[in-house]
Structure 1
Amino acid sequence: MDIPLPYVKPLPPFLAQRYHGWKATTYSQNKAWFRKLATEGQHPRAMIISCCDSRVHVASIFGADAGEFFIHRNVANLVPAFAPDGDHHGTSAAIEYAVTALHVSHIIVLGHSQCGGVQGCLDMCTGNAPELEQSSSFVGRWMDILRPGYERVRDKYAPEDMAAALEKESVMVALENLMTFPFVNEAVESDMLTLHGLWTDIGEGTLECLDSKSREFFPV
C-alpha cells in the first residue's frame, strides 16, 4: 500500500496561473521546438555553474532558449575538488555528466555581487558566524571549499572590499578545482573544452570576465 504524503500540498495558485500562461503562449508558439528537444535529447554547447541566488537569472542574461545551456546552481557557485569517495556529490555529478555524456564545449563559472554564501564564508572565517563552524552546518561545510580563497585575500583588501574580492575568488577557486577532475583536465588539454570565469553586478547589470594571466576581471 502506498504511504500518503500529508505534508505535500497543491501548487500555489499564482504558480499554476503562470504555468497556464506559459503553456498558452511560449509553449504553444514553439511547440515543434519543444517536441524536437524531447525526442532528440539535449545538446547544449555550454555548462554554466552559477549561484542559487534567485537574482541571478542565467538564461535571461544570455538570452538563452530551452536546450542551450546545461545549468547547475549551488550556494556561491562553487566546485569541490575531485574526490571520488562514494559520498553524494551533486555538483561533481553534474560536471561529470556535462563533460563525459553531453560533451559540452564550454564550462562557465558565474559569480555575482552581494552573494550571501560568500558573505557567510567571510563571516565564518573571521569568527563572526560560529553557527557555520558547527559540523552539522551544511552551508558551513560547503563554504569550506572557499577557505583557500579567503586566505588569499585576507591580507590584501580593506574590510569593506573583502566581500567583493571573495566573490571573485569563489570563481577562481571553482575553476581551479574543476581542473582536478581528470576528465575535465583531459578535455581542456585536448582542446575539446574551454573554461571561463565571469562575475556579474546584479544592481548595475554589468558582466566581467576573468583574465587568466592577471587573475583580474575585466568588462565583457
Structure 2
Amino acid sequence: MLTEQERERYARQIPLFGEEGQDRLKGAKVFIAGAGGLGCPIALYLAVAGVGEIRIADRDTVERTNLNRQVLHRESDIGELKARSAEAKLREANPDIHVKAFATTIDETNVRHLVDDADLIVDAMDNFPTRYLLNREALQSGVPLVHGAIRGFDGQATTIIPGRTACLECIFPEAPPAEVCPVVGTTPGVIGLIQANEVIKYLLGKEDLLAGRLLLWDGLATTLETYTVERRPDCPACSPGVRS
C-alpha cells in the first residue's frame, strides 16, 4: 500500500500506470552491478521512480577522473567507496526506498548472494568477464538481465530474458580487449536511462522491451538503431543441454 507521502511524491507518474503499478515498483528488488558512469543514472532514476529496494555493488573508490560522468559522486566524495557514496545520495533522493550497498568485487563466490531474490539484474559494469558472470547467473537463476555498455559517444543496451532471448554470450561470444576507454558523460546518461526505462517497463509488465533486440546509440550522429539478435544453438552459456 502506498502512503499519502508516496502518492504525493509519484503524483506525476501514477496517472501513467495507476496506484497498482506504483505499488508493484514499491515491492520490487533490483540489483545494480556497478556504481560508476552507468550505475549512477540507473540507480538515481530507479530510486526517484519508487523502486522499493535497490542493491548496488562496486569495489572502487571515487576519483576525480570519475566526476565528468558519475553523477551521484561529488568532489567531497573523493576517496570514498563508490557504493557508500551512491547509497547516501539515493537515500537522500528518496527516503521512502531501501538501499543496500556492497563495497565488494563481484565474483563467483558472491554473485548468487548479491542477486539473491532480486527481480532484475542490471549490468552497469565496465568489463566483460564480470558481465559474462552476471549473464550466467541470470541464466541459472532465471532472473532477467538488462545490459548496457559505453565507449566515447557510443553505447548499447539490450534486455535478456533467460530461456527466451539471446543471452550476452550469444550476442558477444568474445570479449573485446580490456581498455580504459574515453567517454563523455552524456553517453552513460543516455544508455543508463534506457536501461532504467527497461527496468521500469519490465516491473510494470510492459511487453515492448529490448528483448531480442540490441540498441545502438551513436552520439555524434544522434541516431538510435535496433538490431534483432537471436540465440546461438552452440552458445556455451544458454544452448540446450548446457548447465550454467
TM more than 0.5 = no
Question: How does the TM-score come out when normalised to structure 2?
Answer: 0.26
Larger relative helix fraction:
1
Question: How does the TM-score come out when normalised to structure 1?
Answer: 0.28
